[in-house]
Structure 1
Amino acid sequence: MRKPFRFKQFEILQDKTAMKVGTDGVLLGAWTCYENVKSVLDIGTGTGLISLMIAQRNSSATILSLEIEKNAFDQALENFENSIWKKRLEIKNTALQDFKTKKKFDLIISNPPFYTTTFKNEDEKRALARHSESLPYSVLLKNCAELLSENGICSFIIPYSEETNFIKIAKNYKLYPKRITQVKGNKKTPLKRSLLEFSFQELKIEISELIIEIERHKYTEDYINIVKDFYLKM
């Protein structure tokens, strides 16, 4: 029997793909701004989690998702078809590098692959999904700049250790940080992730910190406020 991961307004089947529902994807989908957004591009959608989260938060936007790995593509398509927002969701089985369109998007969102070690995971599907060689930051950001509407934003979650380099690469394509939230597991652990929002406008950057847990399975109020519309037990 297939057991989905249940959220408040949708379910995620994840038995066909190596990439399961995780904190990174949920955080990005919940943190990202969606006001004044009519068109969304989700790069590397995996199970379709982030696209479904944006569909829940924005009642009118059309969302196009890209997924290179065939099993993940099939899984996301199934998850979209099972959702109440299926008419606003579309998915293509393609790499970003091969995606061609004249359309511009108000929001581009991606939880990009980020393993930088030379040792790929034994599970090739997981390696393809997470290993940064499959989508280098420079390729990701160049394409985002070409596909983003004039007043649009793009949002990412990356390792905190990559933040400075990522911002530097983005600047090459005239994408400037607008909002940054640096994430740590608890008060005593080092910063682990960076949530980044970019636009074509150079503005004063809004920087904040998010701590996920007070102690094991006891979550901070800030974290609960971000994800409570999605997780069943929040």
Structure 2
Amino acid sequence: MSIFKFKEFEVAQDRCAQKIGTDGVLLGAWACQDKTPYNILDIGAGTGVISLMLAQRFPSAQIEAVELDEDAFEQAAENFENAPWSDRMFCFHATFQEYFEEIDETFDLIISNPPFFDSSSIQNDNAMENTREQARFDDALPFEELLFGVYQLLDDDGVFACVIPYDREAHFLKIAAHYKLSPARITHVKGTENSAVKRSLIELRFRESEIKTSALTIEISRHNYTAEYTALVKDFYLKM
């Protein structure tokens, strides 16, 4: 079994198409720095790593996660059960659309590392046959439906945090504005100082405010991490 060991928990990932990666760990460490959420929703849980990171960061939080893929759902549920915080974590097997149509509560923090490749741009008819790629395509949860669900479930004073490709940021924020969600905090992420920005970490809220923008570089050189990145993830990675 493929086990990824963090400082305070372990994550099995052998049954998940999407393995633990930098995007999810960054989001789990970066999100919601200025408030303490007490009820959290993780959309598209995958292995459950983001939920587990948030359970570590916020000891009083109740966490719900929703996952469409059956294997990933079962694995996330097992990872929750094996965690030190299993009594306050629960995973639902459903599409997000099914979930938000049934749920009548709201959340202080909603978080998602959503599928983000636009399948309409792919010419290879066989591309969608690969499970790993399918998990990263946005057919199952387009930005429009993701943000509509967030609009339905986010508390008036809540925060929605996500990570998306930098080149889709403007499109994403345009859709968010339609649902009265405004950017409060954006961090642009690149691998090295000389590489292009690849990811946008974004927090949205219902109330407009001055946008806090920043940049984050992950590595100085291969496996030589910047001080900013190390400070962000040091409570989680074993070797940080």
Shorter-chain TM band: over 0.9
In 2, the alpha carbon distance for the partners of 1:130 and 1:155 equals: 18
Query: What's the CA shift for 1:58?
Result: 0.1
The 1:196/1:214 distance shift into structure 2, 3 A limit, reads same
Unaligned runs of 5+ in 2: none
Q: How do 1:1-234 residues align onto structure 2 when only pairs under 5 Å count? A: 2-33=1-32, 35-99=35-99, 100-116=102-118, 117-118=121-122, 119=124, 121=127, 124-234=130-240
In 1, the alpha carbon distance for the partners of 2:51 and 2:11 equals: 11
Secondary structure of the residue aligned to 1:196 is strand
In 1, the alpha carbon distance for the partners of 2:2 and 2:184 equals: 39
In 2, the alpha carbon distance for the partners of 1:151 and 1:143 equals: 16
Q: CA RMSD in A?
A: 1.1
Match for 2:92: what amino acid?
K
Cα displacement string for residues 139-195 of structure 1 (whole angstroms, at most 9, x for unaligned residues) = 000110110001000000000001111111100000000000000000110000000
Cα displacement string for residues 91-137 of structure 1 (whole angstroms, at most 9, x for unaligned residues) = 00000111111100000000000112324646543233210111100
Match for 1:45: what amino acid?
A
| TM-score, structure 2 as length reference | 0.94
In 1, the alpha carbon distance for the partners of 2:39 and 2:66 equals: 14
Stretches of 4+ aligned residues off by more than 3 angstroms: 119-124
Secondary structure of the residue aligned to 1:59 is coil
In 1, the alpha carbon distance for the partners of 2:196 and 2:130 equals: 30
Q: Percent identity?
A: 49
In 1, the alpha carbon distance for the partners of 2:93 and 2:6 equals: 25
CA contact (8 A) 1:69 1:125 kept: no
| TM-score, structure 1 as length reference | 0.97
In 2, the alpha carbon distance for the partners of 1:180 and 1:160 equals: 11
CA contact (8 A) 1:7 1:232 kept: yes
In 2, the alpha carbon distance for the partners of 1:8 and 1:16 equals: 22
In 2, the alpha carbon distance for the partners of 1:173 and 1:70 equals: 30
Match for 1:218: what amino acid?
N
In 1, the alpha carbon distance for the partners of 2:165 and 2:2 equals: 30
In 2, the alpha carbon distance for the partners of 1:97 and 1:124 equals: 23
In 2, the alpha carbon distance for the partners of 1:39 and 1:128 equals: 29
Unaligned runs of 5+ in 1: none
Match for 1:75: what amino acid?
Q
